[in-house]
Every structure is written in structure tokens, then in C-alpha cells.
Structure 1
């Protein structure tokens, strides 16, 4: 109750009237089955079209080895043709399905492809170079030491050595190096050529594995290489003083030791140290500043300094030092990008040096060793991290690639390589091994080349069993098989296409009966005759499932041939299509079956006389009608209870029950009195009125279509004391016009008397 403790104006919000109930979706399906690849653990994954299914779970499956195939296909009790699952998924989307949750089923002995990396220093060639060239563009220069270092260049196809030479110069920004000896043969980036320093170590640093089990992972390749995550400027030492920028006042001959520059603010010999560094043209030079009697400013270069001829007007600027004495600290611009333990590479123009960051205080960075030589404000400190590239080539030749940048090899952080791949990669997972180091000279590398090809994946189809389809309930997110569909509340239709195993289909029916918010579509064994399918049907008595006969014929694009497929996938799509176009109250029958062969799209011809035997037993026939195509010609459940013999009636009540359940959660813990009962009655009445107006309920008035009672006639004092609110609801569903009967009689002409 609101409190009014002091004078004033109070604004209050009050609830007015009943709360609306939103109808739940009935067209979302869930399926469990064997796929080429895709997530095996965790909750089922949503796919909204067949292309998305292919990208996530792979394409069509090949038939397994004859022994495995025949073991499953020839077992009338616990068999199935599980390799047809992708074709059933395609049938779902061909027939109008829009949302499908997939739970991958795999044998318990299935293993993922994997591979282990050693270590070394390698950089891929980034640009082609002709025979005789001395300039080479690489992917990076991390782990290199600079001028004078020996490198080997290898071919990427056969791993043969092309050249061994020293580094005469380099540009860390463009990743170009100058060799001290010309190339004896061409170098090609497209071939995978690479430069290597020294030999590769065999100590194990990282293990990569495909993200899910199966032989598909043998087509996965992984490459890991160092990258410069940031190029941070070295800041000048505060003792260096100010900056000046001037120009040459006169031409300077080549190799001359003195140059005259224009006098500018900051260029005062009395305020500058004896020696300063200046940038003239593309070079950096040490100079002494003096002002002769004529007032001009003269820069004196060290004796023996070599340079080209300089013209008057050439820009001259001071280059301040970042470190004026030996030490382990540097001022770095953007130091906040760094972190304790970060590996950095210092570049002084001729040498590249690796250091590790120990501490960071504002812009002052302390390293684990002395700063080599003298660094200037034009130099850069590169933050070294890792980049992982992964690619997968599917049987059709389509390549899926992914790149993960700015990864740390070690440390317990979100950007850690192992953690990042576990959360983002759809292809691989990584495990750190004992020899893993942050030292770029011992970076993880395969034994040869730059790409690691995973191998050893096994689908283990021989170990696949019906228990894998049934699954285990390990709790939310840890369920497998059919049991995992419980994790998705939105699922309204479920199936295990291609499986006629009694254990599997009984588990699917039990799953629906326990949750009471979904409906199962079952498949009979393929090739059954009328007597056979009747015998198959005898094992079921449930109002939560339907059975369709016979199988369908569609095109397997991967194999280039027509194959028989189970009807459950196509039927789930038809359920979704009818629900969207007409509503859940419309029987999913007399609908055209899409995605099958235009002629002879049904594996066996079912005539009217055949259906006279099937329909009374709740077996829904799929038939061909000249001029009308292939159609679903049945709408019955597998229940012996005549009240629930129609699919649309059962699914309508599932829809009503789930919608009312979710739409009245606000009632829990409200005061259980007449005011609440009135709100509940009005809330449910409004919802059922909308349902009746949509044509889902029988009756010319709302009173004929339903009733809602929630008062003292539905509850006793014991109910109230026990905290129970009981609302009685009666609904008159619309039954399908299964038998359309026109009675025609002959009318004789009567004589009219005048």
C-alpha cells in the first residue's frame, strides 16, 4: 500500500482490467539426427533455412559402408536409415517450415580431428618476387632480429629450400626486407612460400582439434602467426626539451658536414644540449647546433656522415630521444593498450628486440630488460599478440574461413587464445601444452609449412546405437539426443526422421507425453506393404503422435540420384505451413507435398481401398491424385480415444494450454480473492474469444464455443487454504470434415392438374 507521509502531489500507476494472453508459436519444430558436422554438446541449434543448416551442420550424408547400412536398414524392430536426416531437413524447409532446432546425434566412440604444433619463427610470403629480386614482402617481422640476420626461404608446396640470405635492411611498417643476395628463383605467395629463421623445435606447444567429432575435421586447416596488435609511439624523454621544425637555408653538397638552416623558435644553441638529432630528408642524423657571428644557424654533422645532396628549403625537424641513458623504462603513447606480461617488439630502424612489460604507470612502461640502444620519438613499440586462421573445405569445394585476431597465448583473460576459440570459433578448439611460451622466437608452428592440417577424425558409425538417439538427461544444456529437445520450450512439433526403431519412437512419444506441449511425427519402416504398416502401427496408442505412410521420393543432389526419404521431415514442414497460413485448428491434410519428384514422388501407390484399411487405424496416407498432385490424405492421431483422434484437435488444445499457461504466470502469488478470480476469468475469456473469432472453435456465439468458470463453484475452502486457484475451462473444437457426404435422390415429375 502506498504511503502518504507528507503533503504533496502523488502520481500512481494502477493496473486496469485483465492482462492479454499472447498465443504461442505452433510452427517451430525440433529434430534429432546424424549430421556431417556441427555442435554435438549444448542445447539444440536453431536453423531458419537449409543453407544455414549446411553452414552449421554440413550437407548431405553419404551412405555408410554396406555392413553398417544393412545392419540398420534390415532391422525391422530397432533399425532406421539415419543417413537420410539432411534430406528430411531439406524437406522441412521445402514445405514451408521456417524455424527448426537441430540436435546432432553422434556415436559415443566418434572422435574429432586434431593436430599438434611445435615452435619456431616463420613468416609467410605476402607478395610475389621475381628471380633476381632482392626485396621481399612478408606477412610480419615479429621474431626477427633485424639487419644481418640469416633467413631461409621455402616453397609452400613441396617444402623445398629456394634461398638462404642475410637481411640487409627492413621496414617493419610494410613488412619488407632487403636481401644481401638476389633470389635464384621466383617466390610466390599463392603457393604458400614462407621465410624461416633457424630450425623448428619439436616440443609440443598447442593442440588444435575440430570443434565436433567426425571425419569432416580432416578437411580443416589451422594457421597461427604473431601479429602487431598495436604500434605505439615512443614519447620523448622530458629532459630532451622542445621540438623545432625548420628548413635548409642553402643547398648542401653530398656528404657535407655542415648545413645552414633557417632560425626558428626553439632552435637556440644556448637552450639545446650539445648534441641533437635531426631528421633531414629520409635520414636521421646527430648534429651540433651553432650560431656564427652572421646570425645564421649551422648544424654540424659527425665527420664521415654520408648523405645525398640536399636542396634549399628541405624540411629539417628535431627528433627527440626516448631514452637518454641505459634503463628499463620508456614513455609510450597509448600505454593503456599494454598490460602486465605483454610481449612487445622494439624497432630502432636496424634491430628488432623483444621485451616483456612488467609494470605500467600512466605513460611510463617498465620492461624486463634494458632498452637496446637509443630510441627516438619516430620509433614504434609493437604489441605482439596472436592471430589464428582456420579454414574448412567441404566435399563440394566450398571453403569456410574464419580469422581471430588479438589473442593472447597465455593468461586467464577473455582474449586468451584457448578461451576465445572456445567461445567464437565454429571450426576448431585449442589446448595449451607444456612448451607453450610467449616468446615470439618460439611461436607455435607445425612441423612443416605454415598450415596445420588436422587428421584422425572418426565418425564411428559402427558404434552408433539407438541409445545415442534416445539420449541422456544430464540437465539443462547437457542433454543429448531426443532428451535435448526439452531445452527448447518453443518446440511444438518434433521428429527423428528415418528412424523406425521402437525404442527411439517410444522415447519420442514419451518425451511429448511428459512435456505436454508438443506433438510427434513418426516414420514407419520403408518398403512396408499395407499389412506391414498396419502391424507396425499396433505398437502405439498415443494422442501425442501421428504416423504417415508411405515414404517419399526426392532427389539427392550430392549423389545425383533419386532416393526414398522418410515423410516426417516433409510433414513437419506442412504442419508449419498450415499453421501459418490457416491456423493450428486447420487439419494438416489435403495439402500439396513439395520437394519431391514431380512424377512418382510417393514410394508406393496407395489407393482408396488401401486407405479404407489404414484410416480407421489412424495411419495417414500420402496419395497421388491426377490433376491435384501429391497430397496428404489423413489427419488422425495414433490414439484409441475417439475424443483425440484428430491431429488438429490435439494440437489446438496444446496451443490453448500452453498459451494460457504462459499468459497467466502473473497470477502466481497474487491475493486469492474475488478480484483476482474476476481478472483471470476476463483474461481467459478475452483470449478464447479471439480464438473463436479466428474459426478455431465451434458455435455461432462465444457462449456456444467455450465457457470459463473461476469462482466459489470451482474452489472449496480447502482449496483456498491450500493456496489453489482453480479455473474451469470448456472448449468446443472444430472437427475436420473428414467425410464429405452428399445424399442425392431421384425426383419424379408430378402431373399438374389445372
Structure 2
């Protein structure tokens, strides 16, 4: 109760009455089966169309080796054709399904493809170069030493050496190097040509493996290369003084040692240090300034300086030094982008040097050794990080590529390479090995080439067992097989397409009976005759499952051949379609089956006389009718209880029970008195009235369709004392018109008398 302890205005929120119950979805399906790839740990994965299924789980499966195929296909009691699972998924979406949770089944003996990276430094070609060229544009110059460094150029296809030479010059910004000798042959980026610096080390740095087991991982390639994570400006030493910008006031001949510039703020020879550097055009020069005369200043260049002719008006700008004396500290703009242990590369114009950050205090960065050469405020400190590229092309031609820039090789930061791949990559996982180093010259590279191709993945289909389909309960997020469907509360229809194993189908039925919020669709063995399907049906007695016969015929896009497939995938799609278009109370029957051959789309012809035997036993027939196409011609469960013999009645009650369960959770721990009972009655009544108006319940009035009782007549004092609130609900479902009977009799003409 609110407290009113001092004078004032109080605003209070109160409940306006019963809370609405939202009907749960009944069209979400869950399937368990073998896929080419995809996640096999964790919760089932949602896919909303077949293209998404192919992207995540791969395409169609080839028929396994004859030994494995026959062991499963010829087993009448514990067999199945699990390799047809992707075709069943396609049938689900072809028939109107919209949401499907997939749980991949993998053999306990399956292992992922993997490979290890060694040490070295390579840089891919960024552009083609013709024979005789003396410069190359590379993917990066990280780890290069500069002028005089020995390099080798390799072909990317056969790893043959194209050329060995030295670096005669470089441009860090353009990522271009000059060669001391011309190329003896062309180089091409499309071929994967690359430059290698030094020799590769044998010590392993990273072990990479495919994200899930199976032979599919043999198509995964990985490349790890250094990248510039940030280019941070060097800040001038405070002792350098002010900046000035001026211009030439007279032409300067080529190689002249003096130039005349206009006087400008900050250009006072008395206040300038002995060493002053200026930038004229693209180059920097060390100069000495003389006293102004007639508004001009004379800048003297060192003796022997060579340069081009300069014209009047050319800008002359002072560039201040970042390090005036030998030391291991630098002022860096944006130093917060750096971190302890970060590797950086600096360029003093003649050589590239790699250093490691030891500490950062505001904009002052301390490095592990003295900064080589002289750096200016126009220079940049390049933060070196890693970029991981992955690529995969499946047998169907679909390609997946990933790029993860800005990663750290070591440390516990979320940007760490192994951590980032664990959370973001759909293709690979990485494990750091003792040889992993942040030294760019010892970057992770394969033994040959620049891309590592994973190998030795195994599906181990020969060790696949029915236990892999049933699964184990390791707790939320760690369940496998059928048991994993428990993690998804939204699943309303479930199946294991292609599996007629008694153990598997019994586990699926038990799963539905325990959770009491979903319905199973079972598949018979393929090729059964009328006697065979009746014998197959005998062991089942459940109101939570239905059986359809016979199998269907469709075209396998991977082989372009007709193939018989189990009906459960198509039927799950039909359930979803009917639920969306008509409602869960409509029997999923007398609807056209999509996604099968237009002629002979059903594996065996079922006649009315055949169905006279099957229908009373709860075996739903799939039949062809001339002019009407292939249709579902049955709507019965596998229950011996006549109250639950119709699929739509059983699923309607599942819908009502789950909706009321989820919509009345607010009642728990409320005061158990008349006011609460009235709210519960009204809440449930409002919901059932909506259901009745949708045509799901029988009766011309709401009172005929249902009743709701929650009062002293449904609860005793003992119930109240034990915290029980009991609400009795009665519902009159609409039964399907399974037998439409027109009784016609002959009528004798009667004589009319005047």
C-alpha cells in the first residue's frame, strides 16, 4: 500500500482490469538432422528460408559410400536415410513454412579440418606489374626495414620464385617499393603473387580449425597479415618553438644553396634554434635563417644540396622535430589509441623501424628503445595490428568471405585474435601456440604461400549412430540431438526427416509428451507396402504425433535426378501454411503438396480401398486426384483415444494450453482471493471468446463454446491453504468433416387431385 506521510499530490498507477492473453505461434517448426556444415553445439539455429539454411548449414548432401548407405537404408528397425535432410528442409519452405529451428547432428567421431601457421613476413601484390618494371605496389610495408633490404618475389599458384632483389627505395604511404633490378617476368595479383622478406621460421604460431567438424572444412582458407590499425601524428617537441609558413619571394635556381622568403610570424632568426627544418615542395631541408632585410629572410641550405628549380610563390613551411635528442619518448597525437605492448612502426625517411609501447601518459609515449633517426610533426606513428581474412566455397558454388581487421595477436583484450574469431567468425577458430610473437617479421604465415588451406576434416559417417540423433542433455545450450529442441520454447511442430529408427522416433514422441507443447510428425520406412506400413504403425499409441504414407518424389538439384524423400518436412511446411492461412483449428488436410514432381510426385499410388485400411488405424495417406493434384488425405493422430484422434483438435488444445500458460504468469504469488479469481476468469474468458470468434470452437454462442470456472466451487480450503488456484475450463472444439455423407433416396411422384 502506498504511504502518505506528507502533504502533496500523489500520482498512482492502478490495474485497469484483466490482462490480455496473446495466442502463441503454432507454425514454428524444429528439425534434427545431418547437414554438410554449420553449428552443432549450442542451441538450435533459426533459419527463415532455404537460402539462409544453405548459407549456415551448407547445401544438399551427397549419398554416402555404399557401405554406410546400405547399413542405414537396409535396417528395417533402426535405419534411415538421413542424407535426405536438406531436401526435407527445402520441402518445408516450399510448402509455406517460415520459421525453422535446425539442430545439426554430427558423429561423435567427426573432427574439424585444421592447420598450423609458422613464422615469417609476406606481403601480397596490390597491383600487376609488367616484365621490366622497377617498382611494385604491395598490400603493406609493415615489418620491412627499408633501403637495401633483400626480398624475394613468388608466384601464388606454384610458389616458384620470380625474382630476388633489393629494395632501392620505398613510399610507406603509397605502399610502393623500388627494385634495384627490373623484374624478369610479369607479376599478377589474380594469381596471388607475393613478396617474402627473409626466410620462414619453422616454429608454429597459431593453430586454426574449422568452426564445426566435417570434410567441408577442407574448402576453408585463412590468411593473417599485419595491417596499420591507426596512423597517429608525431607532436613537436615543446622546445622547437613556433610554427611559421611563408613563401618564396624570388625564383631559386636548381641546386642553389640560398632562397629568399617573405618575413612571417614565428620566422625570427634570433628566436629560432640552430637547427631549423623546412619543407619546400615534397622534401624537407635543414636550413639556417639570416636577419631580415627589406622584409625578406634568407634561408641557407646545406652545401651540396640538390633540388629542382623553384618558382616565386612556392610555399615554405617549417616542420618541427618530434625528438630533438636521442630518447625513448615521443609526444603522439591520439595516444589513447595505443596501449601497453602495442607494436608501432616509424619511418625516418631512410629506414623503417619497429618498436614496442611500454607506457602511455596523456600524449607522452614511452617506447622500448630509443627512437631511431629524426621524426618530424609531418610523420606518423603506425600502430601494427593483425587482419584475418577467411574464404570458403562450397560444392554448390556459394562463397563465404570474412575479414576481421584491427585484431591483437596477444593479450586478453576482446580484440584479441583468438577471442574475436571465437565470437565473430562463422568459419574458423584459432588457438595460440608458444611461437606466437608480435614481431612483424615473425607474423603467422603458412609454410608456403600466403593462404593456409585447412585439411584433414572428417564427417565420420561410418560411426554415426541413432544415439547421435537422440542426443544427450548437458543442460541449457549444451544439449544435442532431439533433446536440444527443448531449448526453444517456440517450437510447435518437430520432426527428424528420413529417420524411421524406432529409437529415434520413440525419443521424438517422448520429447513431445514430456513438454506437452509440441506435435511430432513421423516418417515411415521407404518402400513399404500396405501391410508393411500397418506393421510399422503398430508400436505407436500417442496423441502427440502423426504418421504420413507414402514417401514423396522430387528432383535433387545437386544431382539433377529424381529421388524419393520422406514426407515429414513437406508436412511440417503444410502445418505452418494452414496455421497462418486458416488457423490451428483447421485440419492440415485436403491441401496441395508443393515442391514435388507434378506427375508421379508420390512414390506409391494409394487407392480408396487402401485407405479404408489405413485411415481407421491413424495412417494418413498422401494421394493423387486427377484434376486436384497431390493432396494430403488424412488428419488423424496415432492415438487410440477417440477424443484425440484428430490432429487439429490435439494441436488446438496445445495452442490453448500454451497461450493460457504464458499469458497468466502474472497470477503467480498474487493474493489468492475472490478479486484474483475474477481477474483470472475474465482474462481466460476474453481470450477464449476471441478464439471462438475465429471459428476454432463449436457453438452459436460463447456459452455453448466454452466455460470458465474459478471460484469456491473449484477450490477447497485445503487448496487455498496450500497455495493452489484452480481454474476449470471446458472447450468445445470443431471437429473436421472427415466423412461427408449425402443421403439420396428415390421419391415417387404423387398424383395431385383437383
Relative to the length of structure 2, the TM-score reads: 1.00
Cα drift, residue 373 of structure 1? 1.1
Residue 52 of structure 1 corresponds to which residue in structure 2? Answer: 52
Residue 19 of structure 1 corresponds to which residue in structure 2? Answer: 19
Cα drift, residue 396 of structure 1? 2.2
Q: Secondary structure at the match of 1:165?
A: strand
Alignment partner of 1:488 is 2:476: no
**Residue-by-residue CA offset, 1:360-396 (whole Å, 9 max, x unaligned):** 1111111111111110001110111100110111112
Structure-2 separation of matches of 1:611 and 1:281: 93
Residue 324 of structure 1 corresponds to which residue in structure 2? Answer: 324
Q: Secondary structure at the match of 1:468?
A: helix
Q: Secondary structure at the match of 2:200?
A: strand
Structure-1 separation of matches of 2:293 and 2:53: 84
Cα drift, residue 398 of structure 1? 2.6
The answer on whether the counterparts of 2:688 and 2:706 sit within 8 Å (CA) in structure 1 is yes
Q: Secondary structure at the match of 1:16?
A: coil
The answer on whether the counterparts of 2:263 and 2:292 sit within 8 Å (CA) in structure 1 is no
Structure-1 separation of matches of 2:243 and 2:36: 65
Structure-2 separation of matches of 1:293 and 1:679: 98
Structure-2 separation of matches of 1:398 and 1:566: 26
Cα drift, residue 254 of structure 1? 1.0
Residue 314 of structure 1 corresponds to which residue in structure 2? Answer: 314
Cα drift, residue 295 of structure 1? 4.5
Cα drift, residue 510 of structure 1? 0.2
Structure-2 separation of matches of 1:616 and 1:296: 112
Residue 36 of structure 1 corresponds to which residue in structure 2? Answer: 36
**Residue-by-residue CA offset, 1:705-739 (whole Å, 9 max, x unaligned):** 00000011111111111111110000000000000
Matches within 5 A, 1:614-633: 614-633=614-633
Change beyond 3 A, Cα 1:232–1:746 = same
Residue 519 of structure 2 corresponds to which residue in structure 1? Answer: 519
Alignment partner of 1:385 is 2:396: no
Residue 348 of structure 1 corresponds to which residue in structure 2? Answer: 348
Structure-2 separation of matches of 1:294 and 1:594: 95
Residue 250 of structure 1 corresponds to which residue in structure 2? Answer: 250
Cα drift, residue 271 of structure 1? 1.3
Residue 464 of structure 2 corresponds to which residue in structure 1? Answer: 464
The answer on whether the counterparts of 1:275 and 1:289 sit within 8 Å (CA) in structure 2 is no
Cα drift, residue 607 of structure 1? 0.2
Matches within 5 A, 1:121-200: 121-200=121-200
Unpaired runs of at least 5, structure 2 = none
Residue 367 of structure 2 corresponds to which residue in structure 1? Answer: 367
Q: Secondary structure at the match of 1:199?
A: coil
Residue 532 of structure 1 corresponds to which residue in structure 2? Answer: 532
Alignment partner of 1:396 is 2:396: yes
Structure-1 separation of matches of 2:348 and 2:521: 71
Cα drift, residue 397 of structure 1? 2.4
Residue 99 of structure 1 corresponds to which residue in structure 2? Answer: 99
Structure-2 separation of matches of 1:121 and 1:729: 74
Structure-2 separation of matches of 1:397 and 1:717: 70
Structure-2 separation of matches of 1:90 and 1:397: 18
The more displaced of 67-76 and 396-405 is: 396-405
The answer on whether the counterparts of 1:249 and 1:260 sit within 8 Å (CA) in structure 2 is yes
Alignment partner of 1:541 is 2:541: yes
RMSD of the TM alignment (CA)?
Answer: 0.7
Matches within 5 A, 1:719-738: 719-738=719-738
Cα drift, residue 296 of structure 1? 2.1
**Residue-by-residue CA offset, 1:92-120 (whole Å, 9 max, x unaligned):** 00000000000000100000000000011
Residue 708 of structure 1 corresponds to which residue in structure 2? Answer: 708
Cα drift, residue 399 of structure 1? 1.8
Residue 747 of structure 1 corresponds to which residue in structure 2? Answer: 747
Q: Secondary structure at the match of 1:430?
A: strand
Structure-2 separation of matches of 1:517 and 1:105: 23
Q: Secondary structure at the match of 2:230?
A: strand
Structure-2 separation of matches of 1:742 and 1:410: 81
The answer on whether the counterparts of 1:19 and 1:683 sit within 8 Å (CA) in structure 2 is yes
Residue 563 of structure 2 corresponds to which residue in structure 1? Answer: 563
Q: Secondary structure at the match of 2:381?
A: strand
Structure-1 separation of matches of 2:511 and 2:173: 61
Structure-2 separation of matches of 1:568 and 1:630: 15
**Residue-by-residue CA offset, 1:612-657 (whole Å, 9 max, x unaligned):** 0000000000000000000000000000000000000000000000
Residue 656 of structure 2 corresponds to which residue in structure 1? Answer: 656
Unpaired runs of at least 5, structure 1 = none
How many positions carry a matched residue from both structures?
754
Residue 588 of structure 2 corresponds to which residue in structure 1? Answer: 588
Cα drift, residue 181 of structure 1? 1.1
Residue 474 of structure 1 corresponds to which residue in structure 2? Answer: 474
Structure-2 separation of matches of 1:69 and 1:304: 84
Cα drift, residue 293 of structure 1? 4.5
Matches within 5 A, 1:106-125: 106-125=106-125
Cα drift, residue 350 of structure 1? 1.7
